[in-house]
Amino acid sequence: MSPDRVMAIYRIDPLHDPRWDDFLEEHPRASVFHTRAWLQALRATYGYEPVAFTNTAPGTALTNAIVFCRIKSILTGSRLVSVPFADHCDPLVSSPRDLNDLLSHVEQTLGLETCQYFELRCLSATPTDFEQRATLDRSFAHHVLDLRPNLETLFHHFHKSCVQRKVRRAEREGLVYQEGRCNELVRHFYRLLVLTRRRHGLPAQPLAWFFNLRDTLGIALKVRIISKESRPIAGIVTVRYKQRLVYKYGASDARFHNLGAMPLLFWRAIQEAKALLLCEVDFGRSDWEDRGLIAFKDHLGATSSTLKYYRHPANSVVVSTHRGRSLLPRLCTHLPTSLLRVVGSILYRHIG
């Protein structure tokens, strides 16, 4: 910021500022991860308190903002994250100048917040000259499906053997599809999630997280379950926001993978998104090492891009949340389900 231009920066609470919802409705890069509902679920489950910074004066309509949650952890350190457990959460700004002004202010407030660093999860907004002072902490593959083609064309673009044939097999198998928000469906999904996370050598997120998301997001959230002879075998959680359907969580019973339940779930979600005249399906992020998940999203006809997570200051000491992954698979494989849930309830609060 030039020395002859001093820009006032204001700190607001997005949970209580009456301008927040209208601001998100108007901003083209706003996502479900910016909403009060997502932030309320974070606070209810993990105790994270949200804060946003803007150069818009009080009493006038918001024109920009960057939202964070503060994570205080004796295991992973204190930091500001924009925002926890979100695949992406772009700074909502209209100019590089505003972005740099806001980020410069956040840099200055780190000491006051007793935070070691802050993290940005950028999908489309690049931190301009801030990038030279920050560090690219992590990156992921991100997939989006364009819903402008008709359903026949979308299905035609599915991989023939990996998706089309599996969808047809799932339909022949007489699998039962259910969707909704009731406690039973949430619990069905969670049981599948515990199986899936155990298979990957990781604990599951707390059950309370999914109930809190269900309660705060309301009808925007759907749990979709497929069952075989009354046994749930696969499920996904999707959220509708504006003209976008967001796939957030998926889980399955590996014993039934050959039946094609997961491809059928995605096909049902895509069919519904088309019926609602939505513009795209956001399939979320994938670790670069998870080639199977990336391939599956590619096989659905989705377009991939790179999702970047920035950290500042670049020389900040970071306690890696990945450091224990060599031990977690052995631990999680042998723990009983009840203890595995306890580990997840304790651990995820520190990950963010």
Give CA 231 to chain center in angstroms: 28
Q: How confident is the model at residue 125 (pLDDT cuts 50, 70, 90)?
A: low
Contact 283, 302 (CB under 8 A): yes
Same domain, 17 and 133: yes
Give the ranges where 115-182 is alpha helix by DSSP (H).
Answer: 151-156, 165-172
343 or 253: which carries more pLDDT confidence?
Answer: 253
User: How far from the centroid of its chain's Cα atoms is residue 21's Cα?
Assistant: 19
Per the domain annotation, does 302 fall within a domain? no
Neighbours of 74 (CB within 10 A): 8
pLDDT at 8 over 50: yes
SS3 of residue 6 by DSSP? coil
Q: Do residue 161 and residue 137 come from a single domain?
A: no
Query: Is the bond leading into 313 cis (omega within 30 degrees of zero)?
Result: yes
The answer as to whether 1 is a domain residue is no
Asked, for residue 98, whether it belongs to a domain, the answer is: yes
In a domain, 257, yes or no: yes
pLDDT band at 112 (very low <50, low <70, confident <90, very high): confident
The verdict on residue 132 lying in a domain is yes
Structural domain boundaries enclosing 155: 149-278
One domain for residues 209 and 243: yes
**Within this chain, do residues 117 and 203 fall inside the same structural domain, yes or no?**
no
The phi, psi pair for 242, rounded to 5°, reads: 55, -125
pLDDT of residue 27: 96
pLDDT of the residue at 161: 96
175 and 274, same structural domain? yes
H helix count then E strand count, the chain = 11, 12
For residues 206 and 214, what is the distance between their CA atoms, to the nearest angstrom?
13
Most confident of the following: 40-49, 70-79, 129-138: 40-49
Residue 313: which pLDDT band, with cuts at 50, 70 and 90?
Answer: confident
Is there a single domain that holds both residue 118 and residue 159? no
137 and 153 co-located in one domain: no
| Segment holding 249, helix H or strand E | strand 244-252
**The amino acid at 156:** H
Q: Are 14 and 137 found together in one domain?
A: yes
Using alpha carbons only, what angle is made at residue 137 by residues 134 and 142, rounded to the nearest 5 degrees?
A: 115
Shared domain for 51 and 98, answered yes or no, is yes
Same domain, 101 and 201: no
CATH number of the domain at 92, please: 3.40.630.30
Answer yes or no: is 350 within a domain: no
Sign of the C-alpha dihedral computed for residues 5, 130, 248 and 322 taken in this order: negative
Strand partners, 281: 145, 245
Beta pairing, strands 66-71 & 49-54: antiparallel
Do 49 and 98 fall into the same domain? yes
pLDDT digits (tens, 9 = 90+) for 216-243: 999 999 999 999 999 999 999 999 999 9
156 and 268 assigned to the same domain: yes
Domain annotation covers residue 34: yes
- 351 falls within a domain: no
Give the number of domains in the chain: 2
Distance CA(24)–CA(27), nearest Å, equals 5
